[in-house]
Structures are given as structure tokens and as C-alpha cells.
Structure 1
Amino acid sequence: MKLFGFINFSLLLFVTISLSCTDFQTAKYSAVLKYWCGKPYIPKNQLIKNLNQLKLNINQCNKKTSCLTNKNEPNCTGTLSSETPPTIRLPPTSDPVPLIPNLGNGYTVMFRNQPYLSTDLVGSLLVNLNNTISTISVKALLHDGSEILAITKIKHDGNSIELPFSLTPIKPKLEAHEVKILFYIEDMLAHISYAKLYVLPVGPKTVKIDRLYGGILTSTNETIFPVGPYVDIGGWLEKGNIQTNLQTLKDQNFNIINPDPPYPNISFIHQMFQAADAIGGIYIQFSFRHDYTDIQKVINQVNQFKNYSSLLTWYIADEPDGENWTNRSSAVFEAYDVIKKIDPYHPISLTLNCKYSSAFYADATDILGTDVYPVGVNMLPCTEYCDVCGCDDCIGSVTLDIPKRTQQYIKDLTLIGREFIIKWMALQAFYDQNAWWERAPTSQEFSVMWHISIINGYKCLMFWRFPFFLDHSVIDQIIDLSKEIKELSNYLLFMPQLSPSHIVISPDNDIYVGVWMSKNQNKFLLIVVNGNKKLSVNFRITIKDLICLGLLPGIGRIDNETNIKVSIENGVFEGNLKKYGVGTFIFEKTLINRAYTDCYDIQASRE
């Protein structure tokens, strides 16, 4: 949910829709009852004539939902009516999960670095296996039956597997090739997956997605970790000189912006792109936020702006799952198809707000964004099924709510075979006492959310919204962190992140850890976050992959301290972080005894 300044958020974004629990389809309350993420809620600070009765009805809705999942609960006499949102499934866990078909079946496939061009010679297929079979064979066929990847035996080791293939026999065209991927166990066909393969004629500016490490390859052949704000057009960007304003944002270490509509006119948009092209190094996510339902307008704008070097992504919609929940007829699907036909050379993105909607919108985007705004919210009046408090199914924690949202997304996306979709995060850099958020994050809280997002695999960090109405300490923190990303990009975008199974953390309830290691184990990045907001914590991290490497020197940074000399011995790293403290450490192997390397090789072969 996004808002700004003193505009009443609930009046801007929420409309009444027809999804409802039993007792809400009455004229008496239809003018004031709203829905968000499929749940009824009472808009904050809105005058309601019969507030107590409305709250009673919402509580009754929650009770009936609970009855459906727990028949033995006292006073359960009714069930949900046929008007209950059909996309909500109520399993024994009581989680309101939308119905998601199990299409992935443990096999996830995607092509890396798409779209390919007619000048590219080699492509690569990425495969993830979530089953216990150690050895599987893979073959890939075009829709006409021609083979692009001969049957290849792969060994499941818990990591993504990359299989190169020649692009030369594939005819370039603007539409995607439908590719069938067949999986065999011994000689028996075990599973069939499908993936879209774009091999395009050389044409307009091209932006590619690295679906293995998550980076974006811009039209100027720069691989970036996008960092930047949603920008208020009317309140800031269009005032004064556009190029000067964009340069100001670049000087603050931002390399992407999302200008938030409405745009004043077409001429302004061209000037904005021209200024960004002239500056270089700052890219634009062009938003159809209020216009994606007007398909002709979408077509016209894509045709006008698709050839600018500074265009990074097309942003279809902001939180379409809020009002529309998981409505398959949502206009975002039509907009996605139309944009892809006109301009398959740029990725498409959108941002979701609801915890359980990712699998429904995965086919309407190339990049899946979400926003988690947990600071200054009061979650007490909210439940899983009724009411909205500014952060869907959150608890109001800067450390727990982002991992909670992420784990649900990954779980649902894996079920439908879309685990490789790139995920972007929009962070809270605002407050609005007229809506749900009583205060803004502190500089420490923002840093914690920032680094926990990176640890949870997000490959872009944006924030709502610029110009900032924040304490100077928070603004300085955002600028410093954006600069830090540039320093860490060579690790985050070019090295695999170790899965949690490779890392043992103590204590395991307050410490959050991410490790990125080069394939030859010569260097790695370690990020550690102390999620305890009251106490400093002594931590001990064991990185299984390094147990045989002995002493590995490096330099690191803890909070605002620089050049902290640290070392890791026998795969164990120990240290101390203050409350909400963050440490980033870079290690490089120098002269390691050959015996240690042999030890690692032996251990790896046994695994």
C-alpha cells in the first residue's frame, strides 16, 4: 500500500468490491465497508455511523472462518456462505491460502539472461530439482519437436543446474518459442515442464534478466543491482530542471527511479527519458500505475518510449492484488500480454501487497515485487481473515515480517514451477498517521530491513517515497546503504548465495545471515544482522563449505565502523553486534595450504 504526504490513503486506493463474508452484503454498510487482500476492513479515521455493529460483524466473519477450520470450536453454529471469495482455501493450518495448482511437482525450469538476440550464440537452461532423486536426465524440445538440448544427465546437489545449448538453429522472432522440457529417471519419463524462450531479432534497446544470480543487464551492457525510490512527479521531479533533479538522485547513489504517476504530459515523459539518457547510469521504471486498464493508452506509450537507453522496466501495476485480490480477469494479465507483444526487449514488473497472491500474478510479470511496511503499525485489531492494518498478515516486526512474506512467496511460486522469478522489494521510508503508519523507521530499523531483504534474496531495493519526509539520520543511512550496494554488487550479482542448509547459526532466533561464495571458493561475502532491538548479541556462524580451509583473512564493516580486521578459522566466524547491528565482511583466499584444498575436494566428493 503506497501513500504520500497528507493525502488520505484509504480514500485514494480502496474501493468496495463484491467479495465478502456472509453478513456484509447489506445496503446499510455497503458505503463504508472496504476490502483489501480479499478481507473486509474498516478504513482508519473514516466516520462510520454504526461502528460498533460493523466491528461486531467483522469479528463474526472471523469467527465463522475459524469455525470452518476448527469444527470443535465452541459456539460454532454457521458456515461461510457461497459469497465467500472462491480463491480462498482454508486448510487445517487456518492459513487463508489461495488455491494454487501443483504444477511444478519439484521441477523448476527457466532460461537465463533472456531475451536472447539473433547475435547471441549460446543460451542456458536453469533447472532446480526439489526431489530426492540424485540423478535425472533432461531433454528440451521446441514446439515443432526439434531438439535444442540433447538428453543430458544431471546430478541433483541442492543447487541450480545450468545447461548450455546452441541458439544457432533457433529462428529469431518477436514471439516466444514454447519449449518442452522432459525429465527422465533412468529411461522412464518422470515429468514435463514448459518454458518460454525469447530469441529476438536485433532491434530496440534490450534489457536482460539474469535468472541465476538476479542481476539486470541494462541496454548499455551494465549489470546492476537496482536501488532507488518511487519519486513524486508533481511534488518534486517536474519542478525545476529535470536533468538537474535526476542528477541529484544519481549523486545520492540511486541507479533506478520509479516516477509515480500521474504524468503532467507526454512532453514531460520524453524530457525525463532524454535527461536520463544524457546523464547515464540512472534508469527508469516506467509506471502504468493508474492507466494499465486503458489498453490503447498502454500501447501508445510503449511505442513512444521503448527506444530510450534509460528505460529499464515496464511497471504494470502497483498492488493490483489489494482491490482485485486474485481476480484472474484482472487487467494486469491483458496489459502484460499486450506489452510483451509490442516490446519483448524489456522486462515487465509489478508490486504485490498481499501475502498469499504471488502465484496468481506470476504469469503477469517477469519481475515480482512486494512491499512490506511493518513500522508504526498496530496489528492488534487485525486477523488472518478480517481487517487490514497496513501490512498484510504481519506482526509489525522489522526482522520477522520480510522473511515471513518471502517464505510464503517462495513456497507458492515453487508449487507452480516459478521459483526462478526475480523478486524485488519496496521498503518503508515514510509514515502517515492518517492511514496505518504512526511513525517512520529509525536509521537502525531501515538498515535491518535493507539487509534482511538482501539476505532473503531480493535483487532490487526500492523505497516509498522521494522526496523523503524523514529524520536526517535515516536519509543519510539510505544514501550510505545505496553506496554500499555498489561495493557489494560484484558478490551479490556474480556469485551464488549459499542455502541456509550450508550455514549453522547460534543463536538461531536473533541472528540473520547471508553468504555468497565464488564457485572456486576463492572469496566470499558474509552479511550478519542482529535482529535483537534491545541487546547486543555474541554470535557464532559455522559455514560448512569452509571447514577445511583453515584461516581465511578478510576485512569487514560493522555499522559505521570501517576496516574491522576479522578472520575465520575452521569454518567458524565469531563476533558481536550491538542491538539492530549489521556487519558485512569480505574474505579472499590468499595462500592456502594445498592440504586444505584437498580436504575440501574430498569432502565435496563425499557429499
Structure 2
Amino acid sequence: MWTTVFSVAAGLASLPLTHAFNNPPGVDIWCGKAYRASNASFNPGGWFEQPSYSSTPLLDLKVRPRMSIYLETDAKGSLLVDTTVSHIVGDSLPVQARTNYTDHITNTTFTTTSELFYLPQRTDGGSATRIDHRTGMLSYIQNQSVTWTPIFPYTYYAQWSLYWDTNTSTLETFASQGYNVIHIVPTGTLSETPFPWTTFDPYLTTSDKQNLHLQYDVLFDPTNLTRLTDQVTHIHTHPSLLLYYTADEPDGKGNPLNSTRLAYDLIRSMDPYHPVSLALNCKDFYYEEYASGADIILSDVYPVATNTSWSTVYDTPCNATYGCCGCDDCRGEFEDISDRLDQFYEFDAVVGWEKVHWGAPQAFGEETFWTRYPTAEEEVVMVMLSVNHGAMGTVMWDYPSSDGIERITRELGPVVTGEVFVGFLEEGVRRVGVVKGAGRVDVAWWVVEEEGRALVSVVNLNYRGTGEVRVGLGGVRVAGVEKVLWGGEGWDVKDGELVREGLGGLEAGILVVDLV
């Protein structure tokens, strides 16, 4: 096997890195745009190209295995079949006028392809992680178990040199605060070559004992596949490994367009048991090229306490073709987060792939573009707004944070990692709710029809309170409130809708309801 792996690595190393940016020589860019006052604006390019509108309906047929991988011990599997009718992507549908007549019925055949990964059960002590393509939920097995456990990853990025490297007891402290994943950013001595495994291995052992799963940051250098090979060789059988993380804002930095895909292909050739993730910073800069190198995409959107139209660092304006304000093409509102997630899902639909998306809520401040830390209430809004718009995990940047943020995220942790919340995200169908009586109130439902129950997440994006709000969902009637997982009480049911006399400023609520 390893002879094959090294042959693959050598083959990938021989592939040229692709650069295709519009900046003149010597002009620094972020998200493809000049940002220094000494440089002029130009068209950065890289914008996602939408297909032309088709006046006739199209069948966007997709067929794929429900799970990203199956093991030989899995007793059954299933396929997901999507037959979406679109005017953007797909194959032409035969259209006939509706009239009464006798005709011969004929069949029209549509074809598509997919991949199925059917792998041996692990016997080397390693874990396995799979993605549910219906929901985006991750689940894992460890220690040769045959039972998959779902997980909603909830954690922070934490830099090695700023927190972890003092002692392995930092892992025990971190786990005790309710987080279920660790993302150790390899700064300081972890960025050295060769990698200091003798220093790092005790942390891996401790993570096992604390049941902390690893989002392992390989610190990928596009010009050094040998280092990546060493990292994966050492870590791929570790029982706490949940997934890999290969690139932090490669689109902002202007990494070679095929760099993320090169890393992805190498990792998958060595370890098909774990998915790959990366974080994107730009609103719309070669999304398809960079996102092709991961199964899971994190969105770095940091809208709190920053001027998004004028760069306080570089003294330039910020717009679609110029400037860097720390939050690319943002308005400085919470909706920047939900808009980015919605946009990426729309891109995915056009490309025809199924990416999982996570949030990366802002948990820092008092530096560069950001004048203060978010408040505790703002932090919860950013976390739950991400979840409402399809984020199936959150990794906040970064830890340690302010006292207020650390307190509130400790309190929220048992809720979003708990069995009830995770169960609804795993089994339910996420739908956008309807709100009456107030603007900028974001609502999502996860309906489990078989149980006659739903999870409802309500987030007030206003800094001021609201009057009476009514929360509903088309075709669904609420019978009663079963439980409030987060937020205030006071929810009633009227005419099949949830009703509250008012929401506090930046209030978030998570409820379990019974349906009629």
C-alpha cells in the first residue's frame, strides 16, 4: 500500500501549480483585489459564472449514495435521488400541451453517474468518519465499533503557541467546557520542519482520553507534498481523528488554484476513511476551484465591529474590486453570515456537487480591522444563524476569547452537542420558517414527520426588542411546546403557530415542538 501511496505523492508533486490572477506584477492582493493605497483598482476576476436561463424546464437529476463511505460491516445502504426541475442546470424535459386526446405513451431515459466508496472495516486502531449526503451530518466509529455515532462539531480554532503548548492539561480544561472537537492551529514550534512529533504525540494520547475529536490541521504548503505525506502517514490511524483541514483562506491568500485539489487527492489516496475540510474567506473568488479540494467548507465571515466600506488598516475604500476590510464584500451585518452560506449552497447546486458547510463565527476583536470583541449575545446569534442556514458544525476563531464569549459558548455547548439537538439535525428536514410581526428575525425548522415533532431555532438579529412575533411553517401546525432547549420561556401556540409577546434584542431561542 505505501509503495502505491508514495508513487501517488510523487505523481502529484510533478503536477504544475496553477496561477491565474489579474494583478499586475508586484501588486499584493487579497481575494484577488489590490488593497494597498499605492495600487490602483482592477478587475480581480474569479467570479462564479451562472449558466444562462433556460426558457424550457430542465431536469437536474442527481443520484448518489446517502453516505460518503460504507464499511463492510454496514448492514445496509441507500441511494439519494434528486429530480429537481430547474431553469438553470440539467437536461431538457419533454413538454407537451395539456389537452384531451389519445396517444401512445413513451419513456424518456435520463442518465447520471456517481461514486460509491465501500471500504474494509478498520483493524489498525484508526477511526472512520462519514458524511450523510442528505443532511450534511458527520458520524464516526472508533475502536472497531460497528455503530456510527452522529456528531455536531462545536469548537474553536486555538493556536498552539497561544494556548496548547503550555501543558497537555489544556486539553482536559478545554474538554471540560463542553467542546467536542479540537483544532490546533500549528503555530510556533508546530510550524517547524521536521515536525516535532515527540512534542505533539502526548497531546494526541490525551485527546483520546478526553474523547476530543481532531480536526487535524496539516499546515499544507502547496510546494511541499512531502510534508503533507509525513503528516497523514503519522496521523491517519489515530483513533481520535475526525477529519483533515488543509487550507486556511487559500482564496484570500491567492494560493495556486489547484493547490487544494492536489492536497485533497493525496490525502484521499492515503486515507479514504476521513473527510477533508478547508476555510474560504472571499465572497466570490474562484469558489469552484478552491472548494473542489474539500468535502467540508468553512466560511470565514467576521462582520462585528468593523468598517466594511473603508479599510482602517490600509486607508482605502473596500468594494467588489478593491480593498481589504477583513470581511470580504460585507455590509457589517449578521446577514453577511447567512448570505455567504446561502450563496455557497447556490454555487454548489450549479456545480452539481454536495459540499457540507460549517460556520466559523467571530470570537475575537481589538485587533487590525475589528475594534472590539463580539458580545456574548452576538456570539450566540452568529452561531445559531449559521446553523439556521445549513452549517453542520461551527469552529469559532479563536481561543482563548473574552470572558463573556467563553462563558456563553460553554453554556451553549451541551445544547448543540446534545442528543436532542443532534438527533433533529440528523433525522429532520431543514426548512425556512415564516415570521410575522417583526423584521430581521431568522427562523429554521427541522421537521421529523414520523415522530410528529420539530426543532425550531429563532434568532432576533435586531439589537432592540420586538413586539409580538408569530412563527410558522407552511403545511405544518404546532400542537404545543414540548421543551425549550435555549432561551426564554413564554412561547404559546395560537392557530397552529408559535407566538411570543416579544423577543429581546439579539435573543435566540431553540425549542422542541409537537405537531398536529
TM-score bracket for the superposition, by shorter chain length: 0.7 to 0.9
2:35 matched to which residue of 1? 41
The 2-side partners of 1:109 and 1:35 are apart by 39
Question: Any residues of structure 2 matched to 1:190-339 within 5 Å, and which?
Answer: 190=110, 192-203=111-122, 204-220=126-142, 221-240=148-167, 242=168, 244-262=169-187, 263=190, 265-280=196-211, 282-324=212-254, 327-328=256-257, 330-339=258-267
Q: 1:422 to 1:492 in 2, by over 3 A?
A: farther
> How far has the Cα of 1:266 moved from its partner?
1.2
2:503 matched to which residue of 1? 577
Q: 1:107 to 1:436 in 2, by over 3 A?
A: farther
What are the Cα deviations for residues 310-362 of structure 1, in whole angstroms up to 9, with x where unaligned? 1111111111111226x53x322111111101100111111111112433233
Percent of residue pairs identical: 26
Equivalent position amino acid for 2:113 in 1: Y
> How far has the Cα of 1:186 moved from its partner?
6.3
What are the Cα deviations for residues 248-278 of structure 1, in whole angstroms up to 9, with x where unaligned? 1111100011100141611223222111112
> How far has the Cα of 1:432 moved from its partner?
4.3
Greater shift after overlay, 530-539 or 384-393?
530-539
1:388 pairs, out of 289, 313, 324, with: 324
Query: Which blocks of at least 5 consecutive residues in structure 2 are unaligned?
Result: 1-18, 53-57, 91-104, 143-147, 310-316
The 2-side partners of 1:358 and 1:301 are apart by 26
Equivalent position amino acid for 2:21 in 1: L
Number of aligned residue pairs: 453
The 2-side partners of 1:293 and 1:100 are apart by 32
Equivalent position amino acid for 1:114 in 2: S
The 2-side partners of 1:100 and 1:544 are apart by 30
Q: Tell me, what secondary structure is at the counterpart of 1:372?
A: coil
- TM-score, structure 1 as length reference: 0.70
Q: 1:297 to 1:588 in 2, by over 3 A?
A: same
The 2-side partners of 1:476 and 1:273 are apart by 26
Q: 1:101 to 1:132 in 2, by over 3 A?
A: closer
1:78 matched to which residue of 2? none
Question: Any residues of structure 2 matched to 1:464-479 within 5 Å, and which?
Answer: 464-468=397-401, 470=402, 472-479=403-410
> How far has the Cα of 1:579 moved from its partner?
1.1
2:384 matched to which residue of 1? 451
Equivalent position amino acid for 1:373 in 2: Y
The 1-side partners of 2:450 and 2:85 are apart by 26
Q: Tell me, what secondary structure is at the counterpart of 2:346?
A: helix
Q: Tell me, what secondary structure is at the counterpart of 1:584?
A: strand
2:300 pairs, out of 340, 357, 371, with: 371
Equivalent position amino acid for 1:499 in 2: R
1:360 pairs, out of 282, 289, 303, with: 289
Q: 1:283 to 1:558 in 2, by over 3 A?
A: closer
1:188 matched to which residue of 2? 108
The 2-side partners of 1:34 and 1:493 are apart by 42
1:531 matched to which residue of 2? 461
Q: 1:186 to 1:484 in 2, by over 3 A?
A: farther
Question: Any residues of structure 2 matched to 1:392-431 within 5 Å, and which?
Answer: 392-398=328-334, 400-418=335-353, 420-431=354-365
Q: Tell me, what secondary structure is at the counterpart of 1:364?
A: coil
Equivalent position amino acid for 1:273 in 2: L
> How far has the Cα of 1:545 moved from its partner?
3.1
2:474 pairs, out of 544, 555, 558, with: 544
> How far has the Cα of 1:436 moved from its partner?
1.5
Query: Which blocks of at least 5 consecutive residues in structure 1 are unaligned?
Result: 1-16, 43-50, 62-83, 89-96, 137-184, 590-595, 597-607
Q: Tell me, what secondary structure is at the counterpart of 1:473?
A: helix
Equivalent position amino acid for 2:453 in 1: K
Equivalent position amino acid for 2:133 in 1: R
| RMSD, matched Cα | 2.6
**Aligned partners of 1:230 and 1:257 also within 8 Å:** yes
Tell me if 1:112 matches 2:66. yes
Equivalent position amino acid for 2:300 in 1: D
Tell me if 1:496 matches 2:450. no
Tell me if 1:123 matches 2:50. no
Q: 1:112 to 1:293 in 2, by over 3 A?
A: farther
The 2-side partners of 1:414 and 1:231 are apart by 33
Structure number with greater Rg is 1
The 2-side partners of 1:539 and 1:186 are apart by 52
> How far has the Cα of 1:301 moved from its partner?
1.6
**Aligned partners of 1:227 and 1:462 also within 8 Å:** yes
1:343 matched to which residue of 2? 271
> How far has the Cα of 1:235 moved from its partner?
2.2
Q: 1:317 to 1:490 in 2, by over 3 A?
A: closer
> How far has the Cα of 1:225 moved from its partner?
0.3
Q: Tell me, what secondary structure is at the counterpart of 2:340?
A: helix
1:555 matched to which residue of 2? 483
The 2-side partners of 1:305 and 1:553 are apart by 45
**Aligned partners of 1:374 and 1:401 also within 8 Å:** yes
Equivalent position amino acid for 2:22 in 1: S
The 1-side partners of 2:86 and 2:264 are apart by 36
1:20 matched to which residue of 2? 22
- TM-score, structure 2 as length reference: 0.81
Equivalent position amino acid for 2:318 in 1: C
2:48 matched to which residue of 1? 98
